[in-house]
């Protein structure tokens, strides 16, 4: 297996736009389509329990990545599949086609020209890469280790939550995270270092079909 860090995998991509997109989606996988729960906050716990009910969630996404140093916004879109028993699959459709698969064991990045993989337990970023799965499976201990909840509002018609990083690793990546939604997460805004930001919009979320398609299963098999 390739004994290289996740960041080295990302920087090995030749196309800069492609690298920015995949890097950001990896970070979103770290955060997940869920939010951190606090045992002492009833509203946060309610949101988390609601989002963690489904074993499979599929959605369409649009990412708007703003880089202040370049005065430019990179826009990408595609589909996402979270499968509690397997991991998370990002399938980017535009402006490049690429797949990013994150499981408990491996991180795999696949494009038309490149293929990279890394064993999670061989990476210093192992806890980061698997945090998404911890979020969706309801591991509150792991979640409270990494984030503070600075504000939260919940009602049956919608909710929003603001998070700030607690762990030193996440402080290097994020300043603040805002999420909002109803039954599922609809929007995530990440304020990053150097005045950069990422906005992810999720649409057409569904739990159907209840089982993996043949194409999804084939991609998850790459990360077995």
**Structure confidence at residue 123 as a pLDDT band (50, 70, 90):** low
Backbone φ and ψ for 201, nearest 5 degrees, come out as -110, 130
In a domain, 1, yes or no: no
In a domain, 179, yes or no: yes
Range of the domain at 72: 6-221
Highest mean pLDDT among 4-8, 33-37, 81-85, 166-170: 81-85
In 3-state terms, what secondary structure has residue 168?
A: helix
Write the DSSP assignment of 193-211 as a string of letters: GGG-EEEEEEEEEE--SSS
Task: Give pLDDT, residue 125.
Answer: 54
**Band of residue 6 on the pLDDT scale cut at 50, 70, 90:** very low
Half-sphere exposure of 151 (CA within 13 A, CB side): 9
Q: Which residue has the higher pLDDT, 207 or 105?
A: 207
Q: In the chain, how many domains are there? A: 1
Give the CATH number for residue 19: 2.50.20.10
């Amino acid at each position: 297996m390739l004994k290289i860090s996740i960041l080295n995998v990302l920087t090995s991509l030749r196309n800069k736009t492609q690298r920015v997109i995949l890097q950001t989606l990896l970070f979103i996988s770290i955060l997940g389509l869920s939010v951190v729960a606090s045992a002492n906050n009833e509203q946060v716990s309610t949101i988390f329990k609601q989002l963690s009910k489904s074993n499979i969630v599929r959605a369409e996404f649009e990412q708007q990545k703003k880089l202040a140093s370049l005065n430019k916004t990179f826009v990408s879109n595609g589909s996402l599949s979270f499968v509690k028993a397997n991991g998370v699959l990002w399938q980017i459709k535009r402006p490049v086609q690429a797949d990013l698969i994150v499981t408990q064991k491996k991180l795999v990045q696949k494009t038309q020209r490149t293929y990279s993989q890394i064993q999670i337990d061989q990476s210093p970023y192992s806890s980061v890469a698997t945090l998404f799965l911890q979020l969706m499976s309801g591991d509150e201990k792991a979640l409270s280790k990494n984030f503070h909840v600075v504000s939260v509002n919940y009602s049956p018609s919608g909710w929003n939550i603001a998070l700030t990083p607690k762990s030193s690793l996440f402080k290097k990546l994020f300043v603040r995270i805002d999420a909002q939604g109803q039954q599922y997460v609809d929007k995530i805004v990440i304020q990053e270092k150097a005045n950069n930001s990422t906005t992810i919009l999720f649409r057409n979320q569904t739990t159907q079909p209840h089982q993996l398609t043949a194409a999804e299963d084939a991609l998850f098999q790459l990360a077995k």
